[in-house]
Amino acid sequence: MEDWVLSAKKTRAERESACTTCRKKRRRCDGLQPRCTPCALNDERNDELSCDYTTLKARQGRLELLQEKVLRLEAQIGRLQYELRMRSGGASTSYRLLRITTLPASSSVNAPNPVISFGVPPQAQLLLVGFDPLIGSWWKTNEAPPSGLVNILVESFVEFEHHHTYDPRPPHFYSSLYDPNPQAGLHPALRNIIFLLACAYRPGPLTALEPVFLRNTMHDLTQSLAQADRLLDYIEAYTLLTVYYVHKDRLHQAVHNGGVAMMFAAACDLHTLRPPKWSGKPTSLLPPPHSRAEIRRRVRVWWMVYTMNRLGSAVTNAQIDMEDEKILTIWDPPPDSRGYERAPPRSVSSLFIRDSGATSVYDDSANAIRSKCVALAHRAIHLGLGAVSGST
């Protein structure tokens, strides 16, 4: 048995050290340089150049390879389904006048202007102008997508932003998506997951980019965590990855992601955001917020994490990752500091206290109402399941 293993290892080593010509012809190669013996004896190359000993690339893991194949098949199915709908429904002749304008490189960090005339959906834009989203080599060389493509992706993401929050992101957030510098602005993990969701929301030509952006997202998330770089971006990106898994009906993966995002957000004290300090323990992984815009973003990210976690728990009957009593973050920061004098800070646990007034939504934002609805729905489902199991 040991001889067989040693022989197999030796054969593998010989194969990897063979020249490219011998590998192509599937024959033994002694690895001599500048020319191996088989190539010299067969006189296959009259130029007398040395053999090429390029090392074989490491094979992908089987699971990674299968996942990539699944994504590509899903992309092909989505494209075929959309093209079928387009052929059956027909396209308006006015769409032929479509024009797509791209931003010059010098204006990459400025807020984009509307890029599409006549309000044509992004997937129709690509089909009608015959644009291939994989054109060029940016997706092979780890470069930023061209600004014209970013315009389409941003428009798609904004249209479906209400799927995970009712608190719209400010314009400068989307402007930063055009900045190709990975060291400035948003972390590349957040940028790539936004592009990934934009592709997933629009089945058609954009689905061909899903494997590219998913691979980049997973790599950038690992880098962000390893370097503790822009951790708030990491939490938001990880939560949006949960949204992507839900969109793809990968519920178990989504529930797992939602639990991890909840625990990491708690480690960053996002569950204790309330006046007057707006920060948790001194050992928090995040520094204290430096502006009201930063406070608002942290509150928005927390309720994104919370709603995805509770919805996943309700759908799969999984255990929650944090009790409601430990959550202190207010529903929504008021427009100015004087708002706290009119309304004391309340959070999830106050919803279940009689006469607390927390269920009143008169002054609430749409995002606060959404979060309260999720909290109440989860509690109702939990009590209902408990009553059923207790009666049996």
What residues does each domain of the chain span? 2-42, 59-228
Measured between alpha carbons, how far is residue 118 from residues 39, 114, 127, 164, 201 in Å? 63, 11, 15, 27, 20
Quickly state the pLDDT bin for 118 (edges 50, 70, 90). very low
**Residue 104: predicted pLDDT:** 34
Segment 300-327 shows an average pLDDT of: 89
Segment 74-83 shows an average pLDDT of: 65
Segment 124-141 shows an average pLDDT of: 53
Segment 7-24 shows an average pLDDT of: 61
The Cα–Cα gap between 15 and 8 comes to 11
Instruction: Report the candidate in 184, 181, 244, 249 with the shortest Cα–Cα distance to residue 217.
Output: 244
Does the structure show a pLDDT above 60 at 197? yes
**Residue 137: predicted pLDDT:** 63
13 vs 183, residue with greater confidence: 183
37 vs 238, residue with greater confidence: 238
Q: Residues of the chain with pLDDT > 90: what percent?
A: 22
Segment 123-127 shows an average pLDDT of: 46
Does the structure show a pLDDT above 50 at 93? no
**Residue 126: predicted pLDDT:** 46
Range with the largest mean pLDDT of 43-47, 245-249, 323-327: 245-249
Does the structure show a pLDDT above 60 at 339? no
Average predicted confidence (pLDDT) for the chain: 75
**Going by C-beta distance under 8 Å and a sequence separation of 6 or more, which residues neighbour residue 380?**
none
Digit-coded pLDDT (tens) for 48-68: 567 877 654 444 466 766 766
**Going by C-beta distance under 8 Å and a sequence separation of 6 or more, which residues neighbour residue 390?**
none
CA atoms within 13 A on the CB side of 310: 25
Instruction: Report the candidate in 82, 83, 74, 118 with the shortest Cα–Cα distance to residue 100.
Output: 118
The Cα–Cα gap between 155 and 126 comes to 13
**Residue 89: predicted pLDDT:** 55
Segment 84-113 shows an average pLDDT of: 40
Picking from 138-142, 213-217, 304-308, which range would have the lowest pLDDT averaged per residue?
138-142
Does the structure show a pLDDT above 90 at 217? yes
**Residue 72: predicted pLDDT:** 67
Segment 191-207 shows an average pLDDT of: 89
